[in-house]
Structure 1
Amino acid sequence: MVQKIVYDWATGKIYPNFQFFFSFKFRDLNSINCRINLRNLILDQYPYFGNVLGELWKNPVGLLFIFDGLDEFNDRIDFADTRRDTEPQSMCTDPEWWCEVSDIVYSLIQHKLLPGCSVLVISRPTALHLLQKAEISIWAEILGFVGDERKEYFNKFFEDRAVAEAVFKHVEENEILYTMCYNPSYCWILGLSLGPFFTQRDRKQQQVPKTITQLYSYYIYNILKNHSREIENPRDVLLKLGEMAFTGVSEKKIVFRNEDLIKYNLQPSQFLSGFLMELLERDDSVQSVVYTFPHLTIQEFVAALAQFLTPDPGDIGKLLSEAHSKGDGRFEIFLRFVAGLSSAQAARPLEKFLGQFLHQTTCGVIDWVKEKVEGQIGNMKSETGKRNLLNTFHYLYESQNKTLTQATVGSVKTLTFSELRLTPIDCVVLSQTIGLCDTIQHLDLERCLIQSEGLKRVGPVLHKCQALR
């Protein structure tokens, strides 16, 4: 997306008032472990600006700084902490001053450094709370594909128009998959995962994935089906790859180097290339190969999968609780995948190539989800409590365990999500949860910013609510 913005600006389509764009990825900034100034930060990526930066500082209004992937940044930027404005070691009001990278980003956003310049910060929703105290004039949600654009994507993805229509028809009939289609990356995974169901005669239509976990399960299944002959023990390799992926999620790391592969006893191979992309990275004029998963959600899924492949799972409940305790959302999608992989529908296709998932782990995950839901039901007063409860509903949805859902929330009388922004996917999850409940005496959705698509999802179950706010 950032490339598209920069390209449109360079070709004169947008933002004619800006003279220069400087784009940075937080994942790259993570590698800077010493104090640096803005001048050198720019010259590290744009060395040809060496002789003109002094002039650029004089007219900051013509500069746009783009910082992509706040959720991937290892250092925490606390905009509520005013000490940055008073402590000399943290203050950064001059582009020539040496500071921590986080101080430079903070000072640019808060207009302390180069006042008058513009800053665009891009983040997953999981890290938006970090910006709540920042001086931000415009908030924008990236909508991605809307309406017929989703259908257009599948028509372009598949050469066979009949297959494209069949895949889109299935997606359209499944609320969660259709809602996911706003994201082009999800559309790509949908195309890869669903296509074989409508092009291969041996695939049964009733097994088409219905949840996000099931979708990713079939994405990995297709890789294993095409590459499993190239390796003796795919389970062992997926376990090691998943352990590396889990460490990456823990450390907000999405780029891996040869030393990471060696640490987990992984060898670059045709089989591994089905899961990791090779990229050339420049470092001090030397090119080296680094590795990354095609999408962060794929890394998160493989990390979750590893929990079911290990022969010695230890205390899975403790691991999940520690992950859940992280307040920055880094494990949010991982936990949904773990809950989803406890279901037979998601596990079954992978077990054909990887062997049986450990029953002990599956039971431990179900017990943990049950404990979390029951613990959150009575904690809906704070925004954090509401968000945590909604996340547990996502765990229930991905698990597709109706018995568990009815046992934990079936008798709930009050649900309060007021002032918590609900996405269309949240509304799908909430709809299924309410659908499995007895009568809800009071449902509070005040100021949840539910728009037409979200209302369409939750509307069919509102008759179960005696009072709606």
Structure 2
Amino acid sequence: MSGQEEDSMEYVGDALSDDSVPFGEGVSGQGSVYMSDEEEDIFYVPERRPSLDLDSGTRPMETTDRYDVERARSPVHSYNSVISDGFYQCDEMDDDSDLPVTRVQLVRTESSSSFSSMDSDESEPKTKKTRCAEHKPEVPAALLRPELVKNPDEKRHPGLNVNFTVKAITKTLKKLGQEDLRTFNTMLWKRYPESFGAPPKSIDLVDLVDKLLERYDLEVALQITMDRLKHMDLKRLADYLTDLCKRNEVRYELRQTLLGKYGSVYEGCLTEGEPKPLDRVFNELFISDGGNAGPNIQHEVRKIDKLSTHRKKNIIACGQIFDLDTVEVKHLRSIVTNGIAGAGKSMAVQKFIVDWAEEREHQHIYFLFPLPFKELNAMLNQKFSLIQVIHTLYPETKVLPTFECDEGRVMFVCDGLDEYQKPLDFHRTETWCDSTEATDMHVLVTNLIKGNLLPSSLLWITSRPLTSSRLPPESVHQVLEVRGFTDEQKESYFRRRFEDPAQANKVIAHLTSCKTLHIMCHLPMFCWVVCGQFQRTFQEKGPDTALPKGITLMYTRLLLVHLRVRDSRCESKRSADDVRDFLMKLGKLAFTMLEKNETVIGKATWKGAGLDVAEAVTKSGLCIEFLIEQFVMYQERIQSFIHPTIQEYLAALYVFLTWRSTGKNLLEQARKLFGKEPDLLAVHRCAIETSLQSPEGNLDVFLRFLLGMSLNANQELLCKHFLPNKNTCPSFSEETAGIIKKKIKENHHPDRNGNLQCCLDELGFE
């Protein structure tokens, strides 16, 4: 073999050893490939002809000259070697004629498809043919195709992943007609033969996208698709793909913002201590379909008539709210969720948001925008458009002029309608349909609720019942109610909070033995108070200590939480005198009703107490309003305390604070039976006697609270927040315990001995 032949074989061997993708079945000899006339012209190979001596007087054709020829198709060449020679960079690519001209040198081999010298003398040395006469410096292929160039210093956006890229490219190319898709395939093959191999035999969109992502990085695959679409004069479709990518980036950044804002929680609506991950704290809630259930009336002693006409409703898990099937089948747009203070409404909202942000639930919602009314209050004095409100609360969305898209629904979560400081008038407020035009905030809120703004969006509103009942019925498609915890959910909550199983078992057994505490633990906020109290007990006295049996301190802490939440809802902080005045009026109302064994607060009662319904029901969270059906077509609004024990606690607080402030004993009628005693002890003795004389034990739990308020731990909290004189007074707990033990021993009221024993527990005596 001659030296030139060895060089030629070495060239072929290099091509065979290359790792690039083969040209396809037709090239490899595994099958025939259909080509159009145009494609056949591209790869046309002239037949071999013998050297011609056209004239005896002329010299033979020089074999050393270079000619422009088409490259021979060889069964063994590789696309990496082709690209390095600059193949496909010349005039055969009619759709890329603007590319620079480069030179390709072909080495002849002893192949039936190779070119030989035009001379008949086969023994002459093989010559190399150059494709282009003009010699220009070779340029790397990637630089000649800028869409393939990836900046190594540029970091990939974390929202760009394989799943999105597949969906985005597929969704874009599906908008092409069959003919356009065939053209796109052909252009892709011609432009990037080293990656796509054989010419396209069929229109297989899935295979096409797979090959793109197998051969190229995600950014490059997207850029190639945009580049080819623009080359086909389909700029709008290329822009559509660009918008898909932009919305995906905004969606990812929005998810991160929401996780940062809602992913952790301070329990009990207080910003104390360290925030905890929501998943460690959240417990499933009792959510029912229907919003007029009324308060929980379970009671340890009293028999209370049913306060509502609530019928048994479906139980709904938090993840089922706005699920895809419900939205599509029932054609829901807006859901209103009611619940008393501390029932867990905001926690349900937070769980919903975090599940969406972590892509666990509700992926049919493309953009989720929480619009808490507490934050909207800060915008009341300015004019905003709905889009501007979103851009203000979520700056990462500023790159998008609109949020409606065909990838999914837009959803707004408006938590705490009762916190909104502007009255909503759904009859006189002007209609507003332009989400880009600025107006007053109450106009935006009203029209968003009515469905005039972004009517295709979903809307979830949470509120206390009094406020949500003012919404127009035609704008509310479903009403849900968060009712706190069931008994099973209570146990689950405490096992989650106490990681030591022994402590959890001890707490659950203790709560089960104390019926009033167990009943009140239907409120998640109260559960948080109980957990905090018991955790302090374990830390201070050790894990083997007995848990305190008193209930008064728990209710005092619950009251302080409610008052702190109430202050956060007011534009300006209330003074201690205002808070004390409010509690004294509400406590007097509770005490008067308790003496009459009443639970429903009438309109005349409110006026007589000098209280505003909205102040007591909406802001304080200590009362509730609900509807009852008196007749088939008639409903009546009813107000009561959120639980009968709250009424009893406030009544006891009123008696105790009155004595501390004025020295007056409100139970003085019973006091005439006894001689001169220290004031507080006289109050206790009167309360014990009055409780024993009350029918059916209506004042039994009231008595426990009144006695518990005299203990130092309670007095310190009450004096600190509600009394100008911060000093505590003697509790007379031993003397009071002696009176109670004597009553038990006398056994004049055997049916009340159980409650008297609970009073001893409240005072810390066996």
- The TM-score normalised by the length of structure 1 is 0.50
Bigger radius of gyration: 2
Structure that is richer in helix per residue: 1
What TM-score does the superposition give when structure 2 sets the normalisation length? 0.32
